[in-house]
A and B are shown apart, each in its own frame.
Chain A
Amino acid sequence: MEATLGLWLTILAAGVATFLIRLSFIAVHGRVIMPDWFNRALTFVPVTVLSAIIVPELVMTDGVVNFSPLNARLIAGIAAILVAWHTKNVMVTIVVGMLLLWGMQYFFG
């Protein structure tokens, strides 16, 4: 992939957008009170956006749903979900997930 002008401008625009969000209330200190539903909606953002991106990556192979027990990413992903649930530890989750993926790729790949 090339670092095209378009890509640079996209990163710049994303950076400016993020900066303006952070500057918003600091710059215009008007004590604006956010509606309650908006604050609550924000708490759902990380969970939903990440899930909408992760799940297709685990369940689909080349754009097609693949529930095969030989789908290494699906099995390693499910195991990682269980590990994350029990340990709540980021590094343990990543290590177990990677080891399972490598193991399955080695034996079935």
Chain B
Amino acid sequence: METPQSEFFGGVRAELPLMVGVVPFGFIFGAVAVQLGLPASITQAMSSVIFGGSSQFLAAPLIAAGTPGALLVLTVLIVNLRHALYSASIAPYLEKLSPLWKGVLAYLLTDEAYAVTIAHFQQKGDAKHRHWFMLGAGVTLWTMWQLSTAVGIFVGAQLPPEWSLDFMLPLTFIAIVVPVLKHRAYVIAALVAGAGGVIAYGLPYRLGYLVAALAAIALGLALEERWKRR
């Protein structure tokens, strides 16, 4: 018989191995954001209020460039839209919970917490206290993300700008994007988005990258569709 405690610590244990990947990212985010000139308070608030790795990485250079708030919120929204899929996938398992539980678990619903939780939820057996497992996984990730951001902010603030540590940001993006380019539709979409970002660079309010990305998504979908039919 699983108890709330055993489920909670089960979630903590399942989440811990993922910290090897999460902690360096939190550290780099904190260090790069302050190197880009963001205030320490705003940097830490991004990790706790937005709490979404890739959207924070994208938002940091946009804030540094003085992008208007509405466009920044729209970008974060588009990048985090995939979490709606996680929400849909996990919803049936949280149906009977109180609104407070649903709110807390929704706040903690990130890529890494979703990955271990859905695997646990789909197992057979005693499901009564399983939401505690998700809480354990989510709280573990949240805590480590805040701590690694804080350490990154502290270290980043000590390092001189001549070290060009802000370059770790495009390098991190490259390391995330390139291995995902499995199908040629993705390769072409990435190339078009990159070229479009350069061509549309001069658009007002830094709208260029968004226009380029949306055009590349439409093209990628069309190409995928076309190649699938043949």
Contacts and interface: CB of A to CB of B under 8 A. Distances in A.
B45 A21 contact: no
B100 interface: no
Given A25-B84, A55-B197, A84-B177, 8 more contacts: A1-B39, A19-B107, A24-B84, A47-B186, A52-B196, A52-B210, A73-B170, A80-B171
Contacts of A39: 85
Contacts of B76: 14, 17-18
B109 interface: yes
Interface stretch (B52-60, B115-123, B139-147): B52-60
B78 A49 contact: yes
Interface string A34-71: 10010111101111111111111111100101000000
A15 B91 contact: no
A51 B41 CA distance: 28
Interface of B: 21, 24, 28, 37-39, 41-42, 45-46, 49-52, 54-55, 58-59, 61, 63-64, 69, 72-73, 75-88, 90-92, 94-95, 99, 102-103, 105-107, 109, 163-164, 167-181, 186, 189-198, 201-202, 208-210, 212-214, 216-217, 220-221, 224
Contacts of A52: 193-194, 196-197, 208-210, 212-213, 216
A46 B177 contact: yes
A19 to B, nearest CB: 6
A104 B168 CA distance: 16
Give the top 4 A-B pairs by smallest Cβ distance, nearest first. A55-B194, A15-B49, A52-B197, A10-B69
Nearest to A73: B167
Contacts of B54: 46, 50
Given A21-B77, A56-B198, A84-B178, A26 B220 contact: no
Contacts of A91: 24
Contacts of B52: 18
A17 B77 CA distance: 6
Contact of A50 (B58, B59, B64): B58
Contacts of A53: 58, 61, 173, 197, 209
A25 B49 contact: no
A90 B193 contact: no
A73 B164 CA distance: 10
A47 B39 contact: no
Nearest to A86: B178
Nearest to B95: A29
Contact of A11 (B24, B45, B214, B224): B45
Which of B24, B86, B201 gathers the greatest number of chain A CB atoms within 10 Å? B201
